[in-house]
């Protein structure tokens, strides 16, 4: 499905490469996972997000448990070839807790607000 000649640098992070999943329509960041060589090849071959589950020490197609797969629309590899952005269309919740995104815990800090306010004035 995708060009399987895309090279990733698996020499860092003990053979893993971080993968950011971003919704291709809303642009919301959904989750961060990892691929090893096997998961990457399966992802390219099928067009479905396939990750290396560090806790289970195995490769798994995202959404295979409940058949709510995450289909890839576009793949972008960073300049060092050691991180990947997958623009995706999920068929269901992406977070293993059942939500659409894993990023649900905002960090509040008045310093962050102040920095934002200062940059907004520029």
74 inside domain: yes
Give the number of domains in the chain: 1
5 inside domain: no
4 inside domain: no
* Per-residue pLDDT, 70: 96
d(CA 114, CA 99): 31
The mean pLDDT of the chain is 89
30 inside domain: yes
CATH number reported for the structural domain that contains residue 61 in this entry: 3.10.20.810
Integer angstrom CA distances of residue 114 from 19, 105, 109, 117, 122:
31, 20, 9, 5, 13
76 inside domain: yes
Say yes or no to pLDDT of 116 above 60: no
6 inside domain: no
Backbone angles phi, psi at 121, to 5 degrees: -80, -20
* Per-residue pLDDT, 34: 98
35 inside domain: yes
Residue 85 is part of which domain span? Answer: 13-121
- CA angle, residues 88, 101, 93, in degrees to nearest 5: 75
**Which range has highest mean pLDDT (5-9, 45-49, 104-108)?**
45-49
57 inside domain: yes
């Amino acid at each position: 499905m995708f060009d399987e000649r895309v090279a990733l640098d698996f020499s860092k992070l003990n053979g893993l490469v971080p993968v950011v999943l971003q919704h291709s329509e809303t642009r919301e960041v959904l989750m961060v996972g990892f691929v090893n060589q096997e998961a990457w090849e399966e992802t390219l071959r099928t067009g479905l997000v396939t990750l290396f589950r560090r806790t289970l020490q195995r490769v798994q197609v995202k959404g295979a448990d409940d058949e709510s797969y995450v289909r890839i629309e576009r793949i972008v590899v960073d300049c060092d070839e050691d991180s990947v952005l997958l623009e995706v269309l999920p068929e269901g919740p992406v977070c293993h807790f059942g939500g659409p995104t894993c990023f649900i815990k905002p960090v509040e800090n008045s310093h962050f607000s102040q920095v934002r306010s200062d940059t907004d004035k520029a």
